[in-house]
Copies of this chain bind each other. A is one copy, B any other.
Amino acid sequence: MSLHFANRLNQVETSAIRELFKLLGKPGIISFAGGFPDVTLCDAPGITEAVNAALKADPAAALAYGATEGYGPLREQLAAFMQAKGCTDVSADQLVVTTGSQQGMDLLAKCMISPGDKVIVEGPTFLAAIQCFRLYGAEVISAPIDSDGVDVDALERLVDEHQPKLIYLIPTFGNPSGATLTLERRKRVLALAARTRTLVIEDDPYGDLYFDTPPPASMLALSREVPGSREVLAHCGSLSKILSAGLRLGWLIAPPELLARTIMCKQFSDANTSTFAQATAAQYLAAGRLPDTLAKVRSVYAQRAQTLCSALEDGLGQALSFVPPQGGLFVWARLTGADGALQDAGEWNRRCVERGVAFVPGAPFFAAQADPATLRLSFATADVEKIFEGVARMTAALLQR
């Protein structure tokens, strides 16, 4: 006889993507499927220096329990990092350090969502966000997007119709969409949030990974210009894509009432984030090495993105449509069916895996009305030579009868 599990598990499954990843151990496979940064770009010497400095400067701080809110010096560094990005009014006491930005989402969901509440996300969006919200009993509703991010007219209609508890957006270099919400749309979303008193979560793990020119200011930075919007805005940041995913450090900025509740929930979720990792990150940021690391990461990803986009255009031509991204980790594409070519990304991916290349079919990223012709390609972890070879295999798989 089985244990009787909680009802909340009924509407959530281990992700289809997770199952796909089990196939990627195949020798020689070229993967565009990953959702993670290239770990070989990490500044391992700098992090080694930082952890040794942390253990020498204040071993007790790195080795003991810490405040649930986070390690003071790291909160100061993260506030300064946000200030430098235009969020000039963010202070250390307005942010809590989280165990990755995934925990930021989990805590916000725990604080906001009662079973049956509605949540609006982009269609498509980050799969783990959909599942996280569903685990708290949310009904997840999908708002359409284009290459400029969420369609604000449609979002407005959905908010008026469903009165959601929150809206979750990745406005900059979205996952999986690669899309960036325009400045004008950002302000309209903020005004909509303020008017309807609906919490907006701005998840921003990719904003620092721009190729040439910085993206529009974050919604957090812009909230100063839209009266009432800051009181209904939460912002999740992460060091995972810019410093190291292994430190498992993110942060959450929210209005005071909500921040206090996320801290209470964190107290009973994991008490505090590793002080060992926090003290290391604080030393790294204080050493001033992040700008150089970021510059390197940006230029490598820019080159890989350009290589992938050119190779896809050359190899697949009209069969695949996409808008080249300006930053982040992802190209979002769609099989057009031109000249009678395949339009099912799942089938294409099965053929590709047989030929030694993989991507992620787009369907799982939709909370509803999945488009089976879509797919996500990450250019982050394959070098230029592998990208050419991978696209050649994809082309052969598409032409296969």
Total residues of chain A contacting the partner, CB 8 A: 82
The answer on a CB contact under 8 Å between B5 and A111 is: yes
Query: A184 an interface residue at 8 Å Cβ cutoff?
Result: no
The answer on a CB contact under 8 Å between A3 and B232 is: yes
Query: A213 an interface residue at 8 Å Cβ cutoff?
Result: no
CA distance A111 to B8 in the complex (A): 8
The proximity string for A residues 235-260 relative to B, scoring 1 for CB distances below 8 Å and 0 otherwise, is: 00000100011111000000101101
Query: A128 an interface residue at 8 Å Cβ cutoff?
Result: yes
The answer on a CB contact under 8 Å between B55 and A44 is: yes
Specify the chain B residue showing the minimal Cβ separation from A98.
B270
CA distance A44 to B279 in the complex (A): 14
Query: A92 an interface residue at 8 Å Cβ cutoff?
Result: no
Query: A63 an interface residue at 8 Å Cβ cutoff?
Result: yes
Q: Chain B residues near A218 (CB, 8 Å)?
A: none
Partner of A63, one of B98, B110, B245: B245
CA distance A267 to B103 in the complex (A): 10
Query: A274 an interface residue at 8 Å Cβ cutoff?
Result: yes
Query: A20 an interface residue at 8 Å Cβ cutoff?
Result: no
How many monomers of this chain does the complex have?
Answer: 2
Q: Chain B residues near A245 (CB, 8 Å)?
A: 63-65, 275
Partner of A55, one of B5, B18, B47: B47
Q: Chain B residues near A199 (CB, 8 Å)?
A: 3
- Closest chain-B Cβ to A38's Cβ sits at a distance in Å of 9
Tell me the chain A residues, 182-229 only, with Cβ under 8 Å from chain B: 197, 199
The answer on a CB contact under 8 Å between B267 and A14 is: yes
Q: A6-B113, A64-B245, A248-B272 are in contact. List 11 more A-B contacts (CB 8 A).
A: A3-B258, A5-B112, A7-B114, A8-B110, A14-B263, A39-B59, A47-B55, A99-B99, A99-B270, A102-B270, A248-B274
